[in-house]
Amino acid sequence: MGRKVKRDDWTRPGASDGTGSQEVPLRARVAAGAPKRGLIAVLLVFSVLCFGMFFAFRSDCGSTVDALRDHGTQKVAFVEKAGTNKYGQHTDVQVSFEDAAGTHHGNLCVPSGGSLPKGLAKGSAVAVVYDSRKPSRVMLASQVAHPPGWSVAMVVTLAGGVLFLGLGAAVALRRRQVLRGG
């Protein structure tokens, strides 16, 4: 390929006076201080994610509590295994109990707003409520009667959702104000 040669008589397309100084805008120009639409979208997506996590935490064992109140049977169960996390809280407690259908095993469901009580050692007896239709759904009788309300995770995700929604709305209003010339 040969080298391109610059021509003296060439004019830019769209130039009417032959000087080539007229530019054809490809997109509408946005004011320099206007926030980008991508920032607004990211803030709103974070808000939706936080609200989604909040509602997931809120309904985590709430449906289990409702099912156990409707179809639950109270029994005394024996702790087979009591696992703890690094903070010493019981997180994985397996229990076994007997009814007319035989022996059943299940993990205690922990509502997202609460925790399992201390002192659940292997072999200890606890009062549980289990779903007669699905015996692996097991929860402490005290937590079925009085489910805990809020947890730190629920408060943080709700606050994050409100914060990101507010920031997204503020940035959108600021963009609108800048683009209108105010």
How far apart CA 13 and CA 21 sit, in angstroms, is 10
Other Cβ atoms less than 10 A from the Cβ of 65: the count is 20
SS (H, E, C) 69-114: HHHEEEEEEEEEEEEECCCCCEEEEEEEEEECCEEEEEEECCCCCC
Fold of 71-146: OB fold (Dihydrolipoamide Acetyltransferase, E2P) (2.40.50)
Percent of the chain with pLDDT over 70: 80
Q: What is the pLDDT of residues 9-51, one digit of tens each?
A: 777 666 555 555 556 565 556 667 788 889 999 999 999 999 9
Give pLDDT, residue 159.
96
Q: What is the pLDDT of residues 74-98, one digit of tens each?
A: 888 888 877 777 776 667 778 888 8
Q: Which two tokens stand for residue 9?
A: 């008589």
Least confident range of 27-36, 69-78, 162-171: 27-36
DSSP H helical ranges for the chain:
37-58, 62-71, 141-145, 152-179
Give pLDDT, residue 44.
95
Is the pLDDT score of 165 beyond 90?
A: yes
What are the boundaries of each domain within the chain? 37-58+153-177, 71-146
Would you call 128 helix, strand, or coil by DSSP? strand
Q: How far is CA 131 from CA 65, 73, 124, in A?
A: 10, 6, 21
Give pLDDT, residue 29.
64
Give pLDDT, residue 61.
62
User: Dmax of the chain from CA atoms?
Assistant: 100
Give pLDDT, residue 30.
65
Average pLDDT of 147-176? Answer: 89
Tell how strand 138-140 and strand 72-84 pair up.
Answer: unpaired
Percent of the chain with pLDDT over 90: 18
Is the pLDDT score of 111 beyond 80?
A: no
Residue 137 phi/psi, 5° resolution?
-80, 105
